[in-house]
Structure 1
Amino acid sequence: MEQRRIFEQVFTTESAIAAFVFLVVLCALAYSLIRRRARAGATPSPHAERQRLETVYVVVLVGIAAFLVVYTASANDREHPGGESHAAGRGVEAAHPVTVDVTAFQWCWKFSHPAPGPSRAGEATTTANCRDGRLPTLVVPTGRTVRLKITSQDVIHSLWVPALRYKMDAFPDHTNSFTLKIDKEGKWIGRCAEFCGNRHHSMDFWLKAVSPDEYEEWVQQHQGAAPTPEAST
């Protein structure tokens, strides 16, 4: 998946940089300790400052920080493309993504899918109580841009799909959104990543990716039906 690939690329690069900086600092500290120990009794250095060394140190740190900011912002832009220019570059499908309204509540989820077509009338809704293995399923089509609009009915929650590296907070009286695109069919567990009360641990759901034709058929079958207390798969 593109999202996971970008995440792992950024994580690997920034971890490598962090490890390199840590080793440099560790080596400098070890050198200073060994050098001072070998010269026990030496008088303090008469130099109050090391301007060249300090300048190089500051320039290197600023350079690393600037690189991390630009690199992370660029990766974030590739991971969550948005705006008219991005949409125009990817065609009509990206300009009009599949939209799913996600509502988190204590302690489960509700997923509402507007019906396909220009009218977008009616919704296919799935929900559950997240008890006794009854989990709701978020169904999305493969190969298409999907926009999740996430809010909360009560307290702060967080939608998280560990295997695909998707995560977004859900706030009451506010809507967050992000786009995803899954290139193969499959089913992955999702969780709430924000402690939200007694049954936070059971607040799971399924993310299921199906073919576009199967998705449209699924929406039509569930359009206008009352939300089922069971998981829809």
Structure 2
Amino acid sequence: MNQRHVFGQVFTLETAIASFVFVTILVLLLVAVVRRRARPGTEPSQRTERPRLESYYLGALGAIAVFLVVFTALANQRQQQSDHHLPTTHVDVTAFQWCWSFGYPDSPGGRTAVSGTCRHGDLPTLVVPTGRNIKVRLTSKDVIHSMWIPALRYKMDVFPNHHNSFTLAFDREGRWRGRCAEFCGLRHRTMDFWIKAVSPDEFRKWVQSHAAGATGAAA
């Protein structure tokens, strides 16, 4: 699960830098308060500017900002990378007020689809195989939503009349809860779903059974 690994690297580094900056400023502030406090007979400094010191400070902040922007951009790029040696499974995700619909265009006839109402525990499950690239294509029927999988540390916005896409890969079986992370109306808080990773054999059987059910319903 590459997204989670990349997020952990970025979060750890940015937290370390933020902590270092905070501690440095706190120490300098304490030094200024304790060592430079007014004493009897001490005249306050008449100097209002320190251009050289300020330029060093500005340069350091600029260098840190540039480094963080570049590092984060490269990390986002790594999140989107897929293993070209793995087969790819395509999934179409459609968000609507207030639930989700998952389609499998690679299934027989492209008929396999899963949806729900997101009410009273009726949450749809996005079933995916392990050991494959999962190419997810997102769109919305109405307003802006956001597909968020907290356990994977990954989120992407979902827009109407537009398609966003990203690639996931699961190295183990499991089930995780997903949510809508963009306020989208009255029942936004109930707009959850499950994502379930199963073995390729189990996924194939699941797709065949759902495709057969869809064919029977159509008939």
What TM-score does the superposition give when structure 2 sets the normalisation length? Answer: 0.89
Counterpart among 90, 101, 110 of residue 101 in structure 2: 110
RMSD of equivalent CA atoms: 2.1
1:141-188: per-residue Cα shift (whole Å, max 9, x none)? Answer: 111111111111111111111111121111111111111111100001
- The partner residue of 1:130 within 118, 129, 133 is 118
- Aligned CA distance change for structure 1 residues 41 and 189 (closer, same or farther; 3 Å): farther
Q: C-alpha deviations, 1:185-205, integer Å up to 9, x for none?
A: 000111111111121111111
User: TM-score with structure 1 length normalisation?
Assistant: 0.84
Q: Give the distance between the partners of 2:172 and 2:55, measured in 1 at CA.
A: 51
Aligned positions of 1:1-233 closer than 5 A: 1-39=1-39, 42-81=42-81, 90-91=83-84, 93=86, 97-116=88-107, 121-223=109-211, 225-226=213-214
Q: Following TM superposition, by how much is the alpha carbon of 1:38 offset from its aligned partner in structure 2, in angstroms?
A: 4.1
What residue identity is the alignment partner of 1:8? Answer: G
Secondary structure of 1:223 counterpart: helix
Tell whether the 8 Å contact from 1:147 to 1:177 is kept in structure 2 after alignment: yes
CA distances 1:68-98 after superposition (whole Å, capped 9, x unpaired): 11211221111112xxxxx7xx43546xx21
In the alignment, structure 2 segments of 5+ residues that lack a partner are none
| 1:103/1:110 contact within 8 Å kept | yes
Question: Aligned in 2, Cα 1:39/1:170: closer, same or farther, shift over 3 Å?
Answer: same
Equivalent pair of 1:98/1:144 in contact (CA under 8 Å): yes
Show structure 1 runs of 5+ residues with no match: 82-86, 228-233
Q: What is the alpha-carbon distance in structure 2 between the residues aligned to residue 52 and residue 60 of structure 1? A: 12
